[in-house]
Structure 1
Amino acid sequence: MKLLHRLGAAFLLSTVALAPAVAQVSISAAVADKGRPQADKDRDADRKPAEMLKFAGVKAGMTVVDTLPGAGYFTRLFSDVVGPKGKVIAYIPDEMLVKSQTALERANAAAAGRSNVEVVHDPLMAPPPQGVADVVWTSQNYHDLHNMAGVDVVAFNRLVLQMLKPGGVYVVLDHAAAAGSGLANTNDLHRIDPAAVKAEVVAAGFVFDGESKVLANPADKHDLKVFDPSLRGKTDQFVYRFRKPK
């Protein structure tokens, strides 16, 4: 089923229809929740979740699209903060599922028992519904868009622009490559030059709206793969916020 229809149906659901299985809590309470998976809590020191959600401006009742959600680390936090009147869409491009269903299985596991989370997969360039999301988020995966054959990343960013409400934000968190390297290391090191990201997103019609440096690591020389045991979890990361003009 097309993303357009899946998401459209999700946003037509009344808030009454969403069973209140997820209680609305503050960002700090969501992070402090003792019921979070231990694997998530073990990564908090490196991922700075409270700072990230505050930077993105996630609040109760919002609709958040978690693009390429991985194992659902942020999906679960978004779910708790937006509460039963909000919605979280965990979106996986079909291009990631050609060789393996692992990404879909992980997203479904994260959504289990959470009535305000819907897992959606579709071709990356499928037209989205217009003006429905408050926040579109992608964490440590934007560089992978460049590793998908035939994908026009600027065109994809334009689809994100269409999906956001006026004034909505698009947050990109990723592993930094060396300044001036552009797109050269998206596949071998799984890194991307922050300047290249900014240029692509602004070219799609967004306004650059700020950055967070809480995940920066000046000691990272940008020459190792992000999965290298000596560096994993400690890479130099950038966090950019872009806003759709009102």
Structure 2
Amino acid sequence: MNKSSALAFLFLGTATLLHAQTASQPAYVTDAVSDSARPAADKQLDNDRKPAALIAFAGIKPGDNVADVMPGGGYFTRIFSKVVGAKGHVYAIVPEVYAAKAPPERLKSIHALVADPAYSGNTRLDIRPYDRLDVGAPLDVVWTSQNYHDVYGAVSVFSVDGSTGPEQAGKLDAAVFKALKPGGVFIVIDHVAKPGSGEQDAHTLHRIDPAVVIAQAKAAGFVLEAQSELLSNPQDGHDKSVFAPEIKGHTDKFVLKFRKPMHSSKTDP
């Protein structure tokens, strides 16, 4: 990404961008975060992850169909389940390639979550390829947190044979666009990389330049509606791995909110 692209990102549509800090948090969001069924280990992360403000920013509400792509242990999946309620549904989507390559213990938590009576009524696990996210119902929101860089950077456990990292990320964006209903929202949260860092930092530092994500999402047909600095950390120099002890859990993160237009000349892939 060249210098002019980076500057374009910095100044992009500032008059129309929203900030989660100023968004109100509906009771169904705060109730979901405070729900007693959530593990104590999850609640200990809330101060850093700010789930209530992020979900209010995304606009997730009761009755929504939400896909949590690459859900990890299900931190956000659990909260989404309580927010959307009995009339909504949550799909925890694990990429097929990850399920095949990752150690089985990595998936134990998400398997346990979808079997837990506290969540099983409206939550299911789907293992599917990057480029096919059709869950059988039009989605209101697709969410991915701290994972886009792994796809773009072709991190080995996510890498698809015969497809480079940027191509894989492009396929993911196109699949998200197709799976969302018109007007649906795509949320991407990830660790900030230096402008122009490209694939290398995504692979080694587990970071990505937000301008890259914006360009790829736009190429898939999305409109960048808003961004938030809720998870920003100006003390992060963007030069260390996100797993470095001095920065782990406190990296500078971007939050991007894309929307699929209600009417678009872009043809679904």
- Fold equivalence (TM over 0.5): yes
Partner of 1:10: none
CA distance in 2, matches of 1:134, 1:216: 26
The offset of 1:33, in angstroms, is 2.2
Match of 1:159 in 2: 175
Match of 1:197 in 2: 213
Output the TM-score relative to the length of structure 1. Answer: 0.86
Question: How far, CA to CA, are the matches of 2:137 and 2:85 in structure 1?
Answer: 20
Question: Aligned partners of 1:127, 1:76: CA distance in 2, in Å?
Answer: 20
Secondary structure of 1:89's counterpart equals strand
The structural deviation recorded for 1:231 is: 0.8
Q: Which runs of 5+ in 1 are unaligned?
A: 1-24
Is 1:118 aligned with 2:115?
A: no
Is residue 130–residue 175 contact of structure 2 (8 Å, CA) maintained in 1? no
In the other structure, the counterpart of 1:97 is 99
Say if 1:119 and 1:46 are closer, same or farther in 2 by CA, change over 3 A.
Answer: same
Q: How many residues align?
A: 222
Which runs of 4 or more aligned residues in structure 1 lie more than 3 Å from their structure 2 counterparts after TM superposition? none
Q: 1:189 to 1:98 in 2, by over 3 A?
A: same
Report how far residue 154 of structure 1 moved: 1.4
Unpaired segments of 5 or more residues in structure 2?
Answer: 1-26, 263-269
Which aligned pairs between 1:59-98 and structure 2 lie closer than 5 A? Answer: 59-98=61-100
Amino acid at match of 2:128: D
Shift of 1:131: 6.6
- What is the one-letter code of the residue matched to 2:105? T
Match of 1:178 among 188, 191, 194: 194
Identity %: 45
Q: How many angstroms apart in 2 are the aligned matches of 1:220 and 1:109?
A: 35
- CA 1:107–1:63 in 2, change beyond 3 Å: closer, same or farther? same
Verify: 1:136 aligned to 2:148, yes or no: no
CA shift digits 1:113-150 (9 cap, x unpaired): 21100000022223625870000000000111122232
Look up the SS of the partner of 1:60 in the other structure. coil
TM-score by length of 2: 0.79
Q: CA deviation at 1:86?
A: 0.4
Q: 1:92–1:103: 8 Å Cα contact kept in structure 2? A: no
Whole-angstrom distance in 2 between the partners of 1:40 and 1:117: 18
Contact 2:73 2:107 (8 Å CA) reproduced:
no
CA RMSD of aligned residues (A): 1.5
Partner of 2:200, secondary structure, is: coil
Q: Which amino acid aligns with 2:52?
A: A
Post-superposition offset of 1:109: 1.8
Q: Aligned partners of 2:203 and 2:113: how far apart in 1?
A: 27
CA change 1:213–1:201 in 2 (3 A) is same
Aligned to 1:16: none
Q: Which amino acid aligns with 1:117?
A: T
Partner of 1:18: none
**CA offsets 1:182-224 (integer angstroms, 9 cap, x no match):** 3321111111011111111111100111001110000000111
Aligned to 1:28: 30
